[in-house]
Structure 1
């Protein structure tokens, strides 16, 4: 048992806004929250607070993709009863279910490491820089000619495994899943939408599972009150909804190269701050 400090309202608001802004961009929201917590508040809010705040951004995805989700669910349940109704939306429902399994298994197996040592800012900075090369390669080599109707179970497994990389702060869930989709030949919009749909069950489960630890962390992080958690979720939802709407439009027209440059620059700055002792690694 370690001493656990209470979060301030300023910290809650700043981190919730940051969560909403960065959750859907390929820049790593968990990495940004870890960096901001150490740089401005001298303590890490913790993986549990991050997971709970992500509930707000995932509700934003649920609202933004409500029609798509409703169509997929209708097709999935209909296809279970009648094979003649097994459309591409029916199969997409299965691909989301299959693709969610890897991160659920690994998230449970490595939950202690995720909440502890892996949140070291040396790890975050290096992941920001190294994974930038993966994103750039995906943009450069991806054919980007496959549509949602052409997705298969192999896409589901590969993108699902790529999502597991997001367990390491600094990698980015959207960066990993979109990059995997591009390597598989999916066009940018399909890769982004499938990645966002894939994240919904995993993040919702992680947030609900982490609620008790966010109130009273045992080994890491700071404690938040119920009111603070509710406010953080609401802020993350509002900002996240605007961010996902903007990102999908931006991605189709411009790609991810802009984010590659930002990730490298941020990673280098963090390494300098850590190397000079301005910021603590953990």
Structure 2
């Protein structure tokens, strides 16, 4: 499939904006061809734009990422950073559930079966309601540095659910973090940093597909990923400021309205 620049730009904007807002980027990417008439861009482009989002996370949270890197080096005996080493391992352990489920789904070719408008709509509603409850009732007395093994495992298990479109990786992990007592900004920070290994792994998995697809598809994936980086960085900066003074209810309402509208229309 060949994509024109307008389609690549639309995909990048949709991904860059919805990846960090808790409204499901994968769900919106599936809906994009349904609503615009463009041919479905396919899982490879979906992963390529997630890699663009990953680079935005690394850039925006550079200090945190550098701390995790120091923790990784300390693990193999390079330097001493006990706190960072602990957080590094918690992030790795929290990533394992998503990696295991992702590999299982990829090996069984189940991912294509999830690209359903009805499934997206139902998940938008269900996980939107759960986000609203968690945000309303959750405490806000814990920070990212307070993360423990139990927190990493619980949020990691929640992240694995996001492989089903319409769930929202950021939404479901922030929901879990809010239930565990993390504040809104800290829940977002935790969610974004936890996504780094999983998204990086997904990017590595598509390298053989990119090489096999040939020059045109590889170039389209790279262009779309670069455009996504720009949109994602701006959205992330907005969200982190927004959560300092507002709740997540606007996203809950959006998810429910969109989910109901999709069920009626499709």
* Alignment match, 2:167: 171
Cα 1:21–1:215 shift into 2, 3 Å? farther
Q: Does 1:90 align with 2:85?
A: yes
Q: Of residues 227, 239, 247 in structure 2, which corresponds to 1:255?
A: 247
Distance in 2 (alpha carbons) for counterparts of 1:181 and 1:236: 26
SS in 1 for 2:243: helix
Contact 1:214 1:224 in 2 (8 A): no
Q: Sort the Cα spacing of 1:42 and 1:193 in 2 relative to 1 into closer, same or farther, 3 A.
A: same
Report the counterpart of residue 103 of structure 1 in structure 2.
Answer: 98
Verify the 8 A CA contact 1:11 1:41 in the aligned structure 2: no
The CA distance in 2 between the partners of 1:98 and 1:56, in whole Å, is 23
CA contact under 8 A between 1:76 and 1:86: conserved in structure 2?
no
- How has the CA–CA distance of structure 1 residues 38 and 214 changed in structure 2, closer, same or farther, with 3 Å as cutoff? farther
Contact 1:48 1:115 in 2 (8 A): no
Distance 1:94 1:79 in 2: 9
Aligned residue for 1:248, secondary structure, equals: helix
Of residues 27-36 and 108-117 in structure 1, the stretch that sits farther from structure 2 once superposed is 108-117
Question: How many Å separate the matches in 2 of 1:151 and 1:26?
Answer: 21
| Structure 2 portions without partners, runs of 5+ | none
Equivalent positions of 1:17-28 (< 5 A) are: 17-28=13-24
2:156 matched residue in structure 1: 160
Q: Is 1:48 equivalent to 2:40 in the alignment?
A: no
Name the SS of the counterpart of 1:167 in structure 2: coil
Change (3 A) 1:150 1:47: same
1:11 CA displacement? 1.5
Alignment of 1:264 with 2:260, yes or no, is no
Residues 1:176 and 1:114: Cα distance change in structure 2 (over 3 Å): farther
Contact 2:33–2:39 (8 Å) recurs in 1: yes
Partner of 1:138: 134
Cα distance in 1 for partners of 2:221, 2:78 equals 43
Q: Say whether the 8 Å CA contact 1:52–1:211 is kept in structure 2.
A: no
Would you say the 8 A contact 1:58–1:204 is kept in 2? Answer: yes
> Is the 8 Å Cα contact of residues 73 and 79 (structure 2) preserved in structure 1?
no
Instruction: In structure 1, list runs of 5 or more residues that go unmatched.
Output: 218-222, 275-282
Cross-structure match for 1:245 = 237
TM-score (norm 1): 0.87
Measured after TM superposition, the shift of residue 194 of structure 1 is: 1.2
Specify the alignment match of 1:116 in structure 2: 112
Structure 1 position 226 matched with structure 2 position 201: no
